[in-house]
Amino acid sequence: MKGGSGGNSAVQYTMKKLLITGFQPFGGETVNPALELVKQLAGKSINGYEVIAREIPVVRYEALDAVRAAVDEISPDAIIIVGQAGGRPDITVERIGINIDDFRIPDNKGNQPVDEPVAKDGPIAYWATLPIKKMVANMKAAGVSASVSNSAGTYVCNHLLYGVLHLLATAGKAHIPAGFVHIPYLPEQMAVRKGLESQYPTMGVETLVKGFTAMIEALD
Ligand code: PCA
């Protein structure tokens, strides 16, 4: 800290802020690994970022409203949205969000759009603006299985990924790196899937925390 007598002498060392969001349970599940994970990361300091977690409803438009409110409140320096992708074996960092809502099951308020745009006048797609390759490399180096995914699906997760990137692009905030990470089921979600272990690989919360810590180290 710089010296000086009085006035504006104290240098402020403010930490950068990472907004990390986790979805609520959906599709008949009682937990969502994304929410369990972000609860563990909340309040941690990683790579110069203060991690600020928020819970997001699995509801068309309301999910985006929740992130918009958090962005306005927090002014984050980076945004990572996390969702469950049951059946995927590893942590998958999404490359792209597409302008389509085509829900295979209703969301938590019964919305089930088919082949509708997320944003009527929006472009076809947005690239995620996180350093996706470096994030994957960091996780692998930490011994956690990870890969890039080229589709976040057409359900609420893609809706939110596209929606957030469109929001940032149209609000003059495209400089804020943002993107989406899908994670596998938790081991406890297999209680209702006995005998289906080979179809549904799982990952425990400690491994997820280790992976995400390495992932956040990849941010500038
Ligand atoms: N996964 C869903 C929506 C909420 C979540 O956690 C998805 O992949 O679209």
DSSP the chain: ----SSSS-PPP-PPEEEEEEEEPP-TT-S--HHHHHHHHHTT-EETTEEEEEEEE-SSTTHHHHHHHHHHHHH--SEEEEEEE-TT--SEEEE-EEES-B--SS--TTS---SSB-SSTTS-SEEE--S-HHHHHHHHHHTT--EEEES---SSHHHHHHHHHHHHHHHTT-TTS-EEEEEE-B-GGGGGGSTT-TTTS-B--HHHHHHHHHHHHTT--
Residue 32 CA to ligand 1 centre (angstroms): 9
- Tokens for 180, please give them: 């989406």
Please, what is the Cα angle at 207 between 150 and 196, to 5 degrees? Answer: 70
pTM of the model: 0.93
Closest to 36 in 3D by CA, of 202, 220, 200, 214: 202
Query: What's the CA angle centered on 118, arms 114 and 122, to 5 degrees?
Result: 130
Catalytic residue among 36, 159, 166, 182: 182
Each of the 220 residues of the chain gets a pLDDT tens digit; together they read 444 444 455 666 689 999 999 999 999 999 999 999 999 999 999 999 999 999 999 999 999 999 999 999 999 999 999 999 999 999 999 999 999 999 999 999 999 999 999 999 999 999 999 999 999 999 999 999 999 999 999 999 999 999 999 999 999 999 999 999 999 999 999 999 999 999 999 999 999 999 999 999 999 9
Cβ atoms of 180 and 83 closer than 8 Å? yes
Catalytic annotation on 175? no
Catalytic: which of 36, 157, 159, 166?
157
Mutation to probe ligand 1, out of 21, 62, 84 (largest number of atoms < 8 A from CB)? 84
Instruction: Judge if the beta carbon of residue 85 lies within 6 A of ligand 1.
Output: yes
